[in-house]
Structure 1
Amino acid sequence: MNARIRHPEPTEGAAARTVQRRDGKGAHNVRDEVACEVPVALHYNDQPFAVLMATPRDLADLAVGFSVSEALIPDAGELQIEAIDESIDGIAIRMRIPEPRHAALADRQRALPGYGGCGICGSASIEAVLRAPPRIASTPRIAETALHRALDALHECQPLNAATGATHAAGFADRSGTLLLVREDVGRHNALDKLVGAMATQGIDAGSGFAIVTSRASYELAMKAAHVGIPLLAAISAPTTLAIALAESADLCLVGFARDGHCAVYAHPERLIPSSAEQSR
Structure 2
Amino acid sequence: MSEEPAATTFPTTTTWSIHRYNGSEVLPEEDTVAIEAPLTIQLDGEEFATLVYTPSDTIDLVTGFLASEGLIRFIDQIESLTLEEDRGFAHVKLRQLHQLSRQLVSKRFIGSCCGKSRQFYFHNDMRTAKTVTTKLQLTIPQCFHLMNELQEQSAEFRLTGGLHNAALCTVNKLLLTRADIGRHNALDKIYGHILRHRLSVRDKVLAFSGRISSEVALKAAKMGVGILLSKSAPTDLALRLAEDLGITVVGFIRRDHLTVYTHPERIVECR
CA contact (8 A) 1:60 1:81 kept: no
Cα distance in 1, alignment partners of residues 215 and 103 from structure 2: 18
1:126 correspondence with 2:124: no
Which residue in the other structure is 1:99 paired with? 96
Q: How many residues align?
A: 249
Q: What SS is found at the alignment partner of 1:200?
A: helix
**Pairwise CA distance, 1:105:** 3.7
Q: What SS is found at the alignment partner of 2:152?
A: coil
Aligned identity (percent) is 29
Measured on the aligned residues, the alpha-carbon RMSD in Å equals 2.1
Matches within 5 A, 1:1-281: 12-86=11-85, 91-101=88-98, 103-109=99-105, 123-126=106-109, 129-130=121-122, 131-132=125-126, 133-175=129-171, 177-274=172-269
Deviations along 1:167-205, whole A, 9 cap, x unmatched?
A: 000011102x21111100011100111111123333331
Report the CA distance shift for 1:143/1:81 in structure 2 as closer, same or farther (over 3 A). farther
Q: TM-score, normalised by structure 2?
A: 0.84
**Pairwise CA distance, 1:25:** 4.7
Residue 69 of structure 1 aligns to which amino acid in structure 2? S
CA contact (8 A) 1:231 1:252 kept: yes
Q: TM-score, normalised by structure 1?
A: 0.82
Gaps of 5+ in 1: 1-10, 110-122
Residue 75 of structure 1 aligns to which amino acid in structure 2? F
CA contact (8 A) 2:147 2:229 kept: no
Instruction: Name whichever of 226-235 and 195-204 sits farther off.
Output: 195-204
Deviations along 1:194-245, whole A, 9 cap, x unmatched?
A: 1111233333312221101101100000000011100111111111111011
Deviations along 1:75-121, whole A, 9 cap, x unmatched?
A: 1222244322235xx611111112233x2343234xxxxxxxxxxxx
Which residue in the other structure is 1:117 paired with? none
Gaps of 5+ in 2: 1-9, 111-119
Deviations along 1:17-65, whole A, 9 cap, x unmatched?
A: 2112223553332222110112221222112222221111111110111
Cα distance in 1, alignment partners of residues 149 and 135 from structure 2: 24
CA contact (8 A) 1:70 1:224 kept: no
